[in-house]
Amino acid sequence: MCNYYRHVYASCGHTRLVFAEHCKAGARVQRPCKQRTVWQTIEVSGDCRPCGGTEDELAD
Ligand SMILES: [Zn+2]
Ligand SMILES: [Zn+2]
């Protein structure tokens, strides 16, 4: 299970998962595996990307 940050936008409450760290299986292939776990939740005050796109989109 790979670790993700959950960004919570203070202005609208949207959340977005941002890749943080591979698990061992993911590191082996240098790709996040299918299972995502939230490592830390971070409140952000900047522009909300989900409002202009999709919720929980994956970061590149
Ligand atoms: Zn993983
Ligand atoms: Zn939003």
* Domain regions of the chain by residue span: 2-48
Which residues are close to ligand 1, an ion, with C-beta < 5 A? 1-2, 23, 26, 33
Residue 44, C-beta contacts closer than 8 angstroms, at least 6 positions apart: 7, 8, 9, 10
Please say whether the beta carbons of 41 and 10 come within 8 A: no
Residue pLDDT, tens place only, 1-58: 999 999 999 888 888 899 999 999 999 999 999 999 999 999 998 778 657 655 555 5
Distance 28 CA to ligand 1 centre (A): 10
How many CB atoms neighbour CB 18 within 10 A? 16
Q: What is the pLDDT of residue 5?
A: 96
Q: What is the model's pTM?
A: 0.72
Q: Which CATH architecture fits 2-48?
A: 2-Layer Sandwich (3.30)
